[in-house]
Chains A and B, each alone.
Chain A
């Protein structure tokens, strides 16, 4: 793949005229011509019907626009919306930062860009052209799309085509950076929130709905936050490109760890609004954190002293035993987790911190980790000040994201462990792992969700209570890890025996062999199936609607079609289902397209 680029690129296919193209692609034979005509007729009539459905006066699209807030965050109190915006802003700024940092500065020739634009504009023209003028409403035909509007749209479209064509003709070879085009589109999107006006449900002072609905900007409360967030994103992008230009490659690790950290911070501190109590932090958390970071630094220092080296193994075992003992003692949960990670530190420190400099680095990482961890735990274990009557504070699209993200993130390590277990040479472990994987895979996801919502508490001691959302996440993670394990196993099987033997010949331990030799190759080989697994998991999160969690689909299919207070949206199921479908589609489709591009860049699946 790499070599091909230096070779001559294949000759460009010359466009040989419209009639030639038509003859080759539509009318190559009699049967093909008939097929073309029939399918054109079918496509046009289907599109006409769909457009007619969308613009028919029977459709109550205000049911969607009025409830956008409900769709996104469900009943999150409006007084705390700043927290939602901080969440969104944080994530989008991070996105901008890593985009800027990892950008390849790909360049597009104006000609290609214009070709794409022309395609887009002509499909817009096609839709305008075939849109029906009249639609049937209970037997009578109603004019919904005035011909004047159609002409104006057509004129604008043709004007645009002409402009793009001119651009293409005048400077066909000029190159522009692809990212700038994306920013152009994004700024158009943000601008459109300010400009585009839609019929909005409004109420008079006596709580009666104004009829007809006045035209107001779409979601007019969100315009300023979105604009600020867009600004933040551009700023972060610029910082990212600046860091890249400075050659600060160590930043990539920092960005990666902030991606890991950001969701945790959001979940424990930003979105929840914890009632933490400053005295708790000062008197309890900070001393514990200081003690553990000192302990860890001491451990790192001493473990590599020559006198201690022979006893390293026994120290690790002792620490493990201590961790297990602490786990069963009635102490603070923070301590249990801290002891566990101290054990991890003790077991990896001898290999990682073998020089002075790396010992120093590890000490810094350790102290920071301890502080962050303890603050996160403080946030997560405090009571939330946000009260949402009758349900969790997560709802709507936020819930969909939460389940998808944490389900996938948690399932990843478990999936890898299960896959390793299934390919292990030790029969007991292999059979156990195989049994778990097959058991989980044999039953549909929805039954696992029922398991989570009805049965999970049965298997736990009394008093241990799980949040409804947390149970859904746990079940999603279990389910996803079984499927992931099968994908990873495929990757493990694709690795030749020579790799294992080579690792053994070099004298690597089992752990080193897996982490340094086998896993990097195996995971690389199965990125495409893992990506499609992630996409299908994102789609599957909609199933939590069946067990009664307030996710996007539940709101669209059950809540809004039953709204009758304030505005009456009874029976607006079609509009809301279509909105959900489009919403999901935009996310999955763009994700799939993006990942396809990345796969192509990595040259996966082509070897």
Chain B
């Protein structure tokens, strides 16, 4: 760099010096906080550790795939799965409900329009937590199961929750599950093929009927043994598992480093290539230099770190015997699981239907629903689920409404003048354009929904925050639990927003 003046008065120097000073200041601040925290934790005889993930917490989790978790890790996993149960089902239901309310608000029918507006104005101005308490109060106002005899039941509501019939998984359920997912792909393929036939040959090719037919034939065939074809995946997994055991530990580390180097090389070359355009004239801005340095630095840290104890930890992590706590996961364990579940020697009906039952709770006079048969929606689950769905769907309805209203009126008028039916008009002209506007705010609402499930803690629903709180009350590892919360929610947000971004890119208008 050539300086015209004294270098300490040059703006380029000052900029970087200021930033580095700022960085140092921040690092100093953080390290102060961290060392203070370590000191305080040591003073309380509970130094920071991850050990609680491996030990048995001795807590009861009221619902989830395990009631008495063997390890802290498993307890947290139960919390995560409970949270995801509400979030995923909530997203689907809230989207449908929100669309219905949004369309109702645009209805020409006065009563429908007014009542849906009233609903929206009521729900969105009441805090979600109040609503969750409200739904809890609603379900608790039903009589308790022991208050009167219900006889044989199919569907039942009581102060203990909502019980309904459920499909119980059998041996071959995983095989059939994969088969079922594949059926959607097959149906979609058939649909596209019929549409292309229709477009190229100009004759009616019944894409809808064909795809629905495929779906049913595929699944009925699968139910009676066709699912065994999925066993191929299990076979491949067993081959991979054998291959993985041959790979030495150093090989894994080298592989990670190789991948790291490859991607950072690709990133840097892309950045440099970008600056070689006519607009940028090959000039690297501060930003570009910073990015390149960071990319190179990160991969170097990775490469060095992988051959230090930290690196051994990573590879231990991958092969499933992490030293801090005994993990039951890792690549070989995962492959084994796949191999066992997707084995084509498994047979029989993949699912059986079971009905709920009321049993006595221990030695007491109280009754509860049997956890083994049927399915029970517990009070906490119901309250959280209802609250989150109704609350989010109202916000989604606003998104839908504004999305539809934002489509220019000329578009629907043009469609009508072409002689399209109202339903076709909505499906082919209005909705695709509205969807483009709706997607980003919709994604925000999904993220809000996922975060709002954390309010389940108020009604004793054991999602990740509630379980985390139980665990840190037992073990005192607040910092570790908080880091896990942060990592979990960030992952969920990242996954959700990348799905939304994918669709957003796909739907984006191709500019001329």
Contact with B along A424-443 (1 / 0, CB 8 A): 01111100100000010011
A584 and B479 form a contact (CB under 8 A): no
Name the residue of chain A whose CB is nearest to the CB of B131: A581
Complex CA gap A144/B454 in Å reads 41
A539 and B127 form a contact (CB under 8 A): yes
Contact with A along B119-158 (1 / 0, CB 8 A): 0011001111111011001001100000000000000000
A36 and B126 form a contact (CB under 8 A): no
Q: Which of A540, A573, A574 contacts B127 (CB 8 A)?
A: A540
Complex CA gap A589/B127 in Å reads 12
B458 and A545 form a contact (CB under 8 A): yes
Q: Which of A28, A546, A584, A589 contacts B130 (CB 8 A)?
A: A584
B127 and A443 form a contact (CB under 8 A): no
B134 and A447 form a contact (CB under 8 A): no
Q: Which of B111, B122, B490 contacts A36 (CB 8 A)?
A: B111
- List residues 403-442 of chain A with CB under 8 A from any CB of chain B: 425-429, 432, 439, 442
Enumerate chain A residues within 8 angstroms of B109, measured Cβ to Cβ.
25-26, 28, 32, 35-36, 39
Q: Which of A443, A540, A588 contacts B489 (CB 8 A)?
A: A443
Q: Give the segment of B33-41, B174-182, B270-278 that binds chain A.
A: B33-41
Complex CA gap A503/B229 in Å reads 69
Enumerate chain B residues within 8 angstroms of A580, measured Cβ to Cβ.
130, 133
Asked if A450 is an interface residue, CB under 8 A from chain B, the answer is yes
Given contacts A450-B465, A546-B457, is CB(A581)–CB(B134) below 8 Å?
A: yes
What bracket does the count of chain B residues touching chain A fall in? 35 or more
Q: Which of A25, A445, A454, A574 contacts B137 (CB 8 A)?
A: A574
Name the residue of chain A whose CB is nearest to the CB of B48: A458
Most interface-central of A43, A446, A540, A545 (chain B CB within 10 A) = A446
Distance (whole angstroms) from the CB of A427 to the closest CB of chain B = 4
B486 and A439 form a contact (CB under 8 A): yes
Complex CA gap A461/B39 in Å reads 9
Complex CA gap A39/B482 in Å reads 48
Enumerate chain B residues within 8 angstroms of A446, measured Cβ to Cβ.
454-455, 457, 465
- List residues 457-512 of chain B with CB under 8 A from any CB of chain A: 457-458, 465, 469, 472, 478-479, 482, 485-486, 489-490, 493
Name the residue of chain A whose CB is nearest to the CB of B290: A427
Asked if B8 is an interface residue, CB under 8 A from chain A, the answer is no
Complex CA gap A32/B107 in Å reads 10
- List residues 269-316 of chain B with CB under 8 A from any CB of chain A: 286-287, 290-291
B286 and A426 form a contact (CB under 8 A): yes
Enumerate chain B residues within 8 angstroms of A540, measured Cβ to Cβ.
127
Asked if B19 is an interface residue, CB under 8 A from chain A, the answer is yes
Enumerate chain A residues within 8 angstroms of B18, measured Cβ to Cβ.
426
Name the residue of chain B whose CB is nearest to the CB of A460: B36
Most interface-central of B18, B111, B458 (chain A CB within 10 A) = B111
B115 and A43 form a contact (CB under 8 A): yes
B286 and A573 form a contact (CB under 8 A): no
Enumerate chain B residues within 8 angstroms of A450, measured Cβ to Cβ.
465, 469, 482
B115 and A39 form a contact (CB under 8 A): yes
Asked if B451 is an interface residue, CB under 8 A from chain A, the answer is yes
Complex CA gap A28/B112 in Å reads 13
A455 and B121 form a contact (CB under 8 A): no
Enumerate chain A residues within 8 angstroms of B291, measured Cβ to Cβ.
427
Distance (whole angstroms) from the CB of A13 to the closest CB of chain B = 15
A577 and B108 form a contact (CB under 8 A): no
A455 and B452 form a contact (CB under 8 A): no
Enumerate chain A residues within 8 angstroms of B111, measured Cβ to Cβ.
26, 35-36, 39-40, 43
B472 and A577 form a contact (CB under 8 A): no
Main secondary structure of the interface of A (DSSP, over half): helix
Enumerate chain B residues within 8 angstroms of A459, measured Cβ to Cβ.
33, 36-37, 40
B15 and A35 form a contact (CB under 8 A): no
A458 and B37 form a contact (CB under 8 A): yes
B493 and A427 form a contact (CB under 8 A): no
Complex CA gap A457/B26 in Å reads 20
Distance (whole angstroms) from the CB of B113 to the closest CB of chain A = 9
B126 and A584 form a contact (CB under 8 A): yes
Complex CA gap A259/B137 in Å reads 40
Complex CA gap A447/B127 in Å reads 17
Given contacts A426-B15, A429-B19, A446-B454, is CB(A585)–CB(B122) below 8 Å?
A: yes
B108 and A25 form a contact (CB under 8 A): yes
Asked if B23 is an interface residue, CB under 8 A from chain A, the answer is yes
Enumerate chain A residues within 8 angstroms of B457, measured Cβ to Cβ.
446, 546
Asked if B13 is an interface residue, CB under 8 A from chain A, the answer is no
Complex CA gap A596/B472 in Å reads 44
Contact with B along A551-572 (1 / 0, CB 8 A): 0010001000000000000000
Enumerate chain A residues within 8 angstroms of B33, measured Cβ to Cβ.
459
Given contacts A428-B22, A461-B36, is CB(A585)–CB(B126) below 8 Å?
A: yes
Enumerate chain A residues within 8 angstroms of B482, measured Cβ to Cβ.
447, 450-451, 455
B133 and A39 form a contact (CB under 8 A): no
A581 and B126 form a contact (CB under 8 A): yes
Name the residue of chain B whose CB is nearest to the CB of A455: B478
A458 and B478 form a contact (CB under 8 A): yes
Distance (whole angstroms) from the CB of A464 to the closest CB of chain B = 10
A444 and B19 form a contact (CB under 8 A): no
Enumerate chain B residues within 8 angstroms of A557, measured Cβ to Cβ.
133
Complex CA gap A588/B130 in Å reads 14
Complex CA gap A370/B13 in Å reads 39
Complex CA gap A494/B181 in Å reads 43
Complex CA gap A451/B130 in Å reads 22
B110 and A26 form a contact (CB under 8 A): yes
Most interface-central of B107, B109, B469 (chain A CB within 10 A) = B109
Asked if A270 is an interface residue, CB under 8 A from chain B, the answer is no
Q: Which of B125, B286, B287 contacts A585 (CB 8 A)?
A: B125
Enumerate chain B residues within 8 angstroms of A588, measured Cβ to Cβ.
125-126
- List residues 28-65 of chain A with CB under 8 A from any CB of chain B: 28, 32, 35-36, 39-40, 42-43
Distance (whole angstroms) from the CB of A178 to the closest CB of chain B = 22
Contact with A along B96-115 (1 / 0, CB 8 A): 00000000000111111001
B129 and A546 form a contact (CB under 8 A): yes
Complex CA gap A368/B454 in Å reads 47
Enumerate chain B residues within 8 angstroms of A539, measured Cβ to Cβ.
125-128
Asked if A542 is an interface residue, CB under 8 A from chain B, the answer is yes
Complex CA gap A143/B41 in Å reads 64
Distance (whole angstroms) from the CB of A56 to the closest CB of chain B = 12
Most interface-central of A426, A427, A429, A459 (chain B CB within 10 A) = A427
Complex CA gap A488/B465 in Å reads 30
Enumerate chain A residues within 8 angstroms of B20, measured Cβ to Cβ.
428
Complex CA gap A455/B477 in Å reads 10
Distance (whole angstroms) from the CB of A66 to the closest CB of chain B = 19
Complex CA gap A443/B128 in Å reads 17
Asked if A196 is an interface residue, CB under 8 A from chain B, the answer is no
A444 and B451 form a contact (CB under 8 A): yes
B108 and A32 form a contact (CB under 8 A): yes
Enumerate chain A residues within 8 angstroms of B140, measured Cβ to Cβ.
573
Enumerate chain B residues within 8 angstroms of A585, measured Cβ to Cβ.
122, 125-126
Asked if A592 is an interface residue, CB under 8 A from chain B, the answer is yes
A553 and B129 form a contact (CB under 8 A): yes
Given contacts A425-B287, A427-B286, is CB(A444)–CB(B130) below 8 Å?
A: no
Asked if A578 is an interface residue, CB under 8 A from chain B, the answer is yes
B126 and A462 form a contact (CB under 8 A): no
Asked if A531 is an interface residue, CB under 8 A from chain B, the answer is no
Complex CA gap A588/B140 in Å reads 28
Complex CA gap A69/B457 in Å reads 28
Distance (whole angstroms) from the CB of A596 to the closest CB of chain B = 12
A577 and B134 form a contact (CB under 8 A): yes
Complex CA gap A36/B104 in Å reads 12
Complex CA gap A432/B110 in Å reads 52
Q: Would you give 6 A-B contacts (Cβ < 8 Å), ordered by A?
A: A35-B109, A447-B482, A539-B128, A542-B130, A580-B130, A581-B126
Beyond A425-B286, A428-B23, A447-B486, list 11 extra A-B contacts (CB 8 Å): A25-B110, A35-B112, A429-B19, A443-B451, A445-B451, A455-B478, A457-B40, A546-B455, A573-B137, A581-B130, A585-B126
